């Protein structure tokens, strides 16, 4: 699932999986679109989840992860959709910890338990992440806004305190530099993809601090994704729509810029 992104990174890794051997490149490049034509929403219907699943499997198959991954509706999993124009450009799922645990428990349960057992902790995991190929970096803003929307949702709906991702170690630098994640625990072998895996963590409070810091100096040059996050007005829009979404007739659209 390689897409060209910020200048020091030739490709963006995806959340919730380790790297593997690449297969033949069968990606579908994004059609040219201005940065203003972007929108974020929640996958509320089976058709929307099916569209996200199709994108996920197309990108995962190119990476060598197979093409039979499922995105199912669940009370503790929320799938987000990112569009450029009319085209589905990306998807990511936020999983919230329950008695059933999380996908990262397969390899890293002992590490996650240290955070899980802290007073007041609510563990969350990012998984099922995929983005279409983008040759010109035109979806940088969309990726940043997608992550911001997930943060807002996790905070307002589940009071998440700790966010985890599982990545291939060669992508560790991206998550550290672009989003502030920290590696926790040692490398472990993921037998499913026959590749090493690194668990990474960030405190939700640190995410909030990063957002505030970049807003206080909006003109400061930066390659961090936080510099492209939603503005205060845009964040208020998402919060308002999330509040409406808790009504009996939920609203799926979170944000759009035309």
**Cβ neighbours around 47 below 10 Å, total:** 9
Helices (H) and strands (E) in the chain, counts: 6, 8
Closest by Cα among 146, 118, 115 to 225: 146
Please determine, for residue 184, whether its predicted confidence score (pLDDT) is greater than 90. Answer: yes
Per-residue three-class SS string for 155-169:
HHHHCCCEEEEEECH
Quick: pLDDT tens for 188-242: 998 776 778 999 999 999 999 999 999 988 777 778 999 999 999 999 988 888 8
Which residues have a Cβ under 8 Å from the Cβ of 61 and sit 6 or more positions away? 23, 26, 67
Closest by Cα among 36, 7, 34, 13 to 223: 7
H or E segment and range at residue 92: strand 87-96
Mean pLDDT for all residues in the chain: 80
Residue keyed to tokens 């979170």: 254
3-state percent helix, strand, coil for the chain, nearest multiple of 5: 35, 25, 40
Quick: pLDDT tens for 135-168: 555 567 888 999 999 999 999 899 999 999 998 8
pTM, entire model? 0.81
Quick: pLDDT tens for 7-56: 333 345 544 544 434 443 444 444 444 545 788 999 988 999 999 999 98
Q: Where are the alpha helices (DSSP H) in the chain?
A: 46-63, 105-116, 140-158, 172-179, 204-216, 232-245
Residue 62 to residue 2: CA distance in whole angstroms = 9
Which residues have a Cβ under 8 Å from the Cβ of 119 and sit 6 or more positions away? none
Which two structure tokens, joined as six digits, stand for 138?
A: 């035109």
Question: What sign has the CA pseudo-torsion 31, 36, 3, 74?
Answer: negative
For residue 254, what is the DSSP state? E
- What the chain holds in terms of domains, given with CATH numbers, is 38-244 (3.40.630.30)
Residue 142 to residue 241: CA distance in whole angstroms = 18
Which two structure tokens, joined as six digits, stand for 230?
A: 């939603």
With contact defined as beta carbons under 8 Å apart, do 23 and 158 qualify? no
Phi, psi (degrees; rounded to nearest 5) at 237: -60, -45
Residue 234 to residue 86: CA distance in whole angstroms = 20
Q: Bridge partners of 195?
A: 190
């Amino acid at each position: 699932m390689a897409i060209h992104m910020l200048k020091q990174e030739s490709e963006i890794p995806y959340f919730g999986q380790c790297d593997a051997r690449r297969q033949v490149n069968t990606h579908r490049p994004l059609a040219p679109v201005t940065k203003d034509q972007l929108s974020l929403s929640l996958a509320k219907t089976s058709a929307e989840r099916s569209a996200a699943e199709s994108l996920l499997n197309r990108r995962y198959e190119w990476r060598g992860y197979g093409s039979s991954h499922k995105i199912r509706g669940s009370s503790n999993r929320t799938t987000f959709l990112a569009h450029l124009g009319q085209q589905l450009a990306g998807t990511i799922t936020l999983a919230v910890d329950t008695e059933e645990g999380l996908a990262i428990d397969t390899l890293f349960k002992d590490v996650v338990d240290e955070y899980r057992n802290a007073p007041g902790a609510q563990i969350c995991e990012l998984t099922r992440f995929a983005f279409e190929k983008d040759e010109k970096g035109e979806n940088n803003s969309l990726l940043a806004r997608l992550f911001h929307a997930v943060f807002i949702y996790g905070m307002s709906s589940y009071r998440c305190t700790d966010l985890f991702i599982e990545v291939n170690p060669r992508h560790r630098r991206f998550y550290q530099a672009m989003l502030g994640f920290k590696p926790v625990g040692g490398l472990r072998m993921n037998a499913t993809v026959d590749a090493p895996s690194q668990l990474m963590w960030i405190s939700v409070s640190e995410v909030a601090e990063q957002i505030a810091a970049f807003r206080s100096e909006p003109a400061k040059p930066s390659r961090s994704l936080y510099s492209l996050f939603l503005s205060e007005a845009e964040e208020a829009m998402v919060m308002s729509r999330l509040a409406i979404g808790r009504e009996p007739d939920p609203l799926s659209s979170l944000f759009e810029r035309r």
